[in-house]
Structure 1
Amino acid sequence: MTEHLLLRTGRTLGIFAIALTLGACSILKPAEKTEDGKSATTPTDEAAPPGKSDVPTVRLITAQTPAVRAYRKTGARHIYKAYANRIYKGKIPPLVYAVVVVETDIDADGKVTNVSFSRVPSHAPEVPPMIAELIKATSPLPSPGKLGGHTYVDTWLWDKSGKFQLDSLTLGQRSR
């Protein structure tokens, strides 16, 4: 018991020492100089221009609230309507060719502003660009109303025939 406590305390102290060392690295870093010779880290009396921030912009996925899930189905229906002949009818095969998780950014009017991917199939690199083109070609999607501009996520189940289903409207998968 005492040996276990000593090991645990030693491990905790080791992690703490590493954290302090890493923190000290940023403190000891020499200040960068701007073109006029001033320190880049020293605050100035000048106000930053409106809209400018030192914090990098990070794109956040919209939380999957009931309203966002409902809009996801609305967007999927819009895509299904535009590509009725490309929708895989019935239950999709158990070994679908590609599963692609798509993040679609839309503005307050439903215009697609960006399409990106959080999961792409390494064996089917041709599929994500085709999906992006299909989505962009259906823009604008229906207006998101009170949701306004946001990013929503849907999963595309792509059959080797080129037909697809969207997870939000899928009829499921066959067992064989």
Structure 2
Amino acid sequence: MPRLTHFVPAPRWSSTRLALSVTVLAILSACSVTPPAPQPEKPPVAVVTPQPAPPVVIPEAPPALQSQAVTPRDYRRDAAGHLYSKNSKRIYSGKMPPLLYAVGVLQVDIDRKGHVTDIRWMRAPSHAPEVMADIERSVRAAAPYPAPVRMGRVTYTDTWLWHKSGRFQLDTLTEGQM
């Protein structure tokens, strides 16, 4: 066997030096570790705060009909227009024929709010009681009338021109006769 001529002994480590080297290696190995994979983001938690209830909106009633008439004759036009609007399908269109089925003159009392308080016949078509009843029913059903704000209350008179078909015109708004 050959002889070794040259022998280099291994360095000797002191226990303190050895402990220090192991600690440094442990720290270095901890630093080289790959970071953990990112965690998926959690969706944000919805925080529900109770909202106050929306205010209740109560629609206002339409403004009351008003008449600015200062005389019963002026008011008669407003009342006739009101009656026509409430009975649009019953208005005779065009000029009335020379011979009418009935003609009646009626007085109507209206209070300050436009309600009918009384009806009186000045000239009743007594030969046609069904016409009288129909006119009275129509007058009362059309209430409330435009409120006579300048007069407080009013009594107006109008003439009803009645065709045999059951349609009519008021003298205030008549289209005339043939």
Instruction: Verify same fold: TM over 0.5.
Output: yes
Partner of 1:106: 110
| 1:82-135 deviations in Å (ceiling 9; x for gaps) | 110100001111001100000101101111111121111232121111101001
Matched, 1:128 2:128: no
Partner of 1:152: 156
Equivalent AA in structure 1 for residue 144 of structure 2: P
1:149 is displaced (CA, Å) by 1.1
1:80 equivalent among 84, 88, 91: 84
Residues 161 and 170 of structure 2 are in contact (CA less than 8 Å); yes or no, is this contact kept in structure 1? yes
What are structure 2's unaligned runs of at least 5 residues? 1-68
Equivalent AA in structure 2 for residue 75 of structure 1: A
Equivalent AA in structure 2 for residue 121 of structure 1: P
Partner of 1:70: 74
Matched, 1:97 2:126: no
Equivalent AA in structure 2 for residue 123 of structure 1: H
1:150 is displaced (CA, Å) by 2.0
- The size of the alignment, in residue pairs, is 110
Q: What's the C-alpha RMSD, in Å, of the aligned pairs? A: 1.4
Residues 72 and 155 of structure 2 are in contact (CA less than 8 Å); yes or no, is this contact kept in structure 1? no
| Larger Rg over CA atoms | 2
Using the alignment, how far apart are the partners of 2:70 and 2:100 within structure 1? 28
Name the SS for the 2:143 alignment partner: coil
Which structure has more helix as a fraction of its residues? 1
Equivalent AA in structure 1 for residue 118 of structure 2: N
Name the SS for the 1:156 alignment partner: strand
Superposition TM-score, scaled by structure 1 size:
0.60
1:67 is displaced (CA, Å) by 2.5
Equivalent AA in structure 1 for residue 138 of structure 2: L
1:66 is displaced (CA, Å) by 6.8
Using the alignment, how far apart are the partners of 1:107 and 1:156 within structure 2? 22
Using the alignment, how far apart are the partners of 2:145 and 2:70 within structure 1? 18
Superposition TM-score, scaled by structure 2 size:
0.59
Name the SS for the 1:76 alignment partner: helix
With over 3 angstroms needed to count, the CA separation of the structure-2 counterparts of 1:93 and 1:66, relative to structure 1, is farther
